[in-house]
Structures are given as structure tokens and as C-alpha cells.
Structure 1
Amino acid sequence: MTSPRERLARQQAELLKALLADGEAPAGFDGDRLRIEANVLRNKQRRLAAYLRPDLAEALGDRFAALFREYATAHPKTDTIRARAYADAFGTWLVERGEVPKPKRGLSTWAPWRGGLRRRRS
């Protein structure tokens, strides 16, 4: 027998899977509305990734949205990863797949206030 807390945790996990990883709609939820909300959340993440890593958006052009959707579906963002780290992980994934060339000076982070790609200072 499961406790109410365990049932709630399971239901929350099912809802997050439906919203972030194209999972089935949990009982009691409208699947169409969840798909709409999932698209809104994914588009927000995509816009933020493009803002944080405009180098990737520029390099991929029209392919950016489809590739980000593929990445985000397979690697849903969690509360343990910051937006910039998530965008950088997307960049690493793209390099590993051969979608973009490997950066010449290691992993770089976009620093818009500096006007381009720069190494992070430790």
C-alpha cells in the first residue's frame, strides 16, 4: 500500500513526464491541453537556449528548433541544472552528433556583454 505522499509524487512525476518528455497524459488531465502547454514550455526553453547560445542558433539556422526539440525531449531539463548549463549541454550534444563543429578553444560560453564567445574565467 502506498502513502498519499508517494501517490502524489508518482502523479507529479507522470505530469512532468507528459509536459517535458512527451509522456502520456496522466488520468484526469486533458491530453490536448497538456500538449499545448508542453509546446509552450519547450518553445520558452528553446528561445532561452538561443539567447544564451546564439552561436548555436546561428550555426544551425532553420534546424535549431527541430534539433532543440529532439534534445529537450530526450533530455528534459530538471531543477538541478541552470539554463546556461542546459544550453551548453545542448551544444555538447550537437558536437557529439556532428551537427556543429567542435569549438577550437574548448567549451566556450557566450558572453553577450563582451561581444562574443569567450572562455570562462575560473
Structure 2
Amino acid sequence: MSRERLAAQQAELLRALLAGGAAPAGFDPGRVEVEVRALRAKRRRIVAYLRPELPQELGDRFVPLFTEYAATHPREEGVRMRQDAENFANWLTARGELKRPRWWQRLPGRAVRAR
């Protein structure tokens, strides 16, 4: 097998796992779907860790909303997880699912101090 063919097959598998593509020839579609769900769950846990106010505010709606978001917004190459979490929060706000944050809540890494 040539390197070009192997690279094409790897790209096809990545599209299936990360961007909603069809399972490549020779792969069990059911097993690919299981891995897709596992990768989305991992991504969801990281977003919840980085932005704990999101699952707190959304409650039971967090999982289905994140699943919808992840299915239509695959993580792009070079986008860090912190930015991915911010993109999800912006998506929620644009849809009216989340209250608009106060200006100090939008500052990354800033804690609000009581005076």
C-alpha cells in the first residue's frame, strides 16, 4: 500500500470520527459510531471542566445541547480546548440557551473578587 493511499484512508477515518463522515470501507459502522460517541463525550467532559458554569446553568439540557453542537461543529485543527469551550458558550448564547455573561465573566482566567 502506498503512503498516499494510507494517508487518504487515515483522512477518511478521521472525517468519520470527528466530522460526521461515513465509516470508511473495511470499518464496522457500528464500531465507528461507538468511537464517535466516546470522543464527543470526552470533548464534552473537557468543556464542562473548563467552563463548569455551562452544565451548572443548563442542567439536564447540557448533554443534548453539546451533542447537537459537536455534531455540527467538529473541532478544527489548531483550535485549543479552551477556545472550543468558548465557541460552545457563544453558540449557546446565540441560540438563546444561555444568559449573556457579564463582562467580567468573559475574561479568561479572571476570578471575580468581592471588595
> Shorter-normalised TM-score: what interval?
0.7 to 0.9
- 4+ residue runs of structure 1 moved beyond 3 angstroms? 4-10
Tell me if structure 2 keeps the 8 A contact 1:50–1:56: yes
The letter of the residue matching 2:28 is D
The letter of the residue matching 1:30 is D
TM-score by length of 2: 0.84
Q: Distance in 1 between matches of 2:107 and 2:4?
A: 40
Secondary structure in 1 matching 2:35: helix
- TM-superposition CA deviations, 1:85-111 (whole Å, max 9, x none): 100000000001111011121661564
The letter of the residue matching 1:73 is A
Cα-Cα RMSD: 2.1
| Identity %, equivalent residues | 51
* Structure (1/2) with the larger strand percentage: 1
Find out whether 1:24 has 2:22 as its counterpart.
yes
Secondary structure in 1 matching 2:20: coil
Equivalent residue runs for 1:60-75 within 5 Å: 60-75=58-73
TM-score by length of 1: 0.79
Unaligned runs of 5+ in 2: none
Secondary structure in 1 matching 2:69: helix
Task: Give, in angstroms, the shift of residue 8 of structure 1.
Answer: 3.7
The letter of the residue matching 1:41 is L
